[in-house]
Structure 1
Amino acid sequence: MKKVIATSKAPGAIGPYSQAIMAGNLIYTSGQLPIDPETGEMVGNDIVLQTRMSLKNVKAILEEAGSSMDKIVKTTVYLSDMANFGKMNEVYKEFFSGDYPARSAFQVARLPKDALVEIEVVAIV
């Protein structure tokens, strides 16, 4: 069974997709941009601020679905510039304790709204 997950504590979709989908005991989030859900605006032009906001948005979606950051099994991080990998990584590790999830990280040509980072996850409930 497929269930749409939506929360006002993370930015709404900017296209024809859902914030997340729950299928069985797994949650698949869409890529989360560093958009402040209260203002609808991108936070700064700094990888530290943007990574933190993207992960806060992921956390809000998972909590809405009855899950949490420690139940993430896989993350995918899209970066506009791999030179930002180290700073992104420093912020990323603040959001996890114990065993880290599996992860892939890629530099891409461009992200929506010219973001510096976008993060999607797969988590269990």
Structure 2
Amino acid sequence: MVIVENDRLAAEKLRDCLIGYECLVKTLDYGKNTRFRAGVFQPDVILLSAELSGGLFGLVLCSQFKRDDLLADVPIVLITATLNADRLTQHKKLPTAADAYLTKPFSQTQLIETIGALIPLTVGDIGEDTLADLDDTWREQSEEERIVPVPDFSVRRTFSGARWESTVGYCRGIRIGNVVAITGTAAIEADGSVTAPTDAYAQTKRCLAIISAALNELGSRMDDVIRTRIYVTDIELWEEVGRAHREVFEHHPPATTMVQVSRLIDPRMLVEIEADAVCNFV
């Protein structure tokens, strides 16, 4: 069976729960290796955490597995600590729903009974007292794990000092929880002048430098950027703009869009960039 879980300790608890049963258990870290190849490792059951990568990405992964030709018939046990009853009910109605659900805290007995209803499990050479001890330990650990921190959804803002911020009434960037949005940013120097009026490459680098500074102010960084939107006054400049963008994001490329606009607020501005980021922590 396969355990898909980012939390190493949680994965180890699940493995410990299966001590004494004749089965091969493989743990996969979501985002690193969640593809199974027939003939290499084809699971009989998947224990899938709903809470992955700081969100409920396990629900997305469940749908992906159920649509995969190789995995469509593999039973999935979805394990959650945070999904409420309404959300679970909604998920169970989906055509890509899991085959079974467990909400923490639960005992080793509950886990084994859930898996056993999907695939046959055989007890190996281990005493009943040992299994009982493991059951008590698992229940205690699950109770502790259920106490999860409440995310911080307070609002934080940062300003770059550009005169348009106060004139129009906006901030350079805003962070809510672990989500950061950076407003459209043009190439402006500290003294208010436009960077290199005829150089799209230099302006792009300046835009991204301002964005980077705003992200840092909000406790984020360029590695966290998941999307950029690029506005240029001449689409023929795409190679210069693209080269500067690639140099900054080469090792962590985000999704992006580049479109031509008729003009920006200053005719000497050739490019303006927006950015969205999701931090790895709240």
Higher relative contact order (CA 8 A, sep 6+): 1
Q: How many residue pairs were aligned?
A: 121
- Is 1:26 the counterpart of 2:144? The answer is no
- Is 1:95 the counterpart of 2:248? The answer is yes
Report the aligned-residue RMSD: 1.3
- Residue identity opposite 1:43 in structure 2: T
Secondary structure, counterpart of 1:52 in structure 2: helix
> Residues 13, 24 of structure 1: CA spacing in aligned structure 2 closer, same or farther, 3 A cutoff?
farther
The match for 1:72 among 212, 225, 245 is 225
Q: How much does 1:11 deviate?
A: 4.5
The match for 1:12 among 141, 148, 162 is 162
Q: Structure 1: how far apart are the matches of 2:260 and 2:250?
A: 26
Q: How much does 1:2 deviate?
A: 2.5
Q: Structure 2: how far apart are the matches of 1:11 and 1:34?
A: 13
Q: Which runs of 5+ in 2 are unaligned?
A: 1-153
**8 Å contact kept, 2:156–2:218:** no
- Residue identity opposite 1:60 in structure 2: A
Q: How much does 1:3 deviate?
A: 2.1
1:48-84 deviations in whole A, cap 9, x for unaligned?
1111111111111011111111110000000001000
Q: Structure 2: how far apart are the matches of 1:32 and 1:13?
A: 12
- Is 1:40 the counterpart of 2:192? The answer is yes
Secondary structure, counterpart of 1:113 in structure 2: coil
Q: Which stretch shows the higher mean deviation, 114-123 or 88-97? A: 88-97
Secondary structure, counterpart of 1:100 in structure 2: coil
2:272 — aligned with what? 118
**8 Å contact kept, 2:157–2:218:** no
1:82-122 deviations in whole A, cap 9, x for unaligned?
00001101111111242310001110111111210000100
Structure with the largest fraction of helix: 2
Q: Which runs of 5+ in 1 are unaligned?
A: none
The match for 2:215 among 58, 62, 86 is 62
Q: Structure 2: how far apart are the matches of 1:73 and 1:13?
A: 28
**8 Å contact kept, 1:32–1:118:** yes
Q: Structure 1: how far apart are the matches of 2:226 and 2:251?
A: 12
Q: Which has the larger radius of gyration?
A: 2
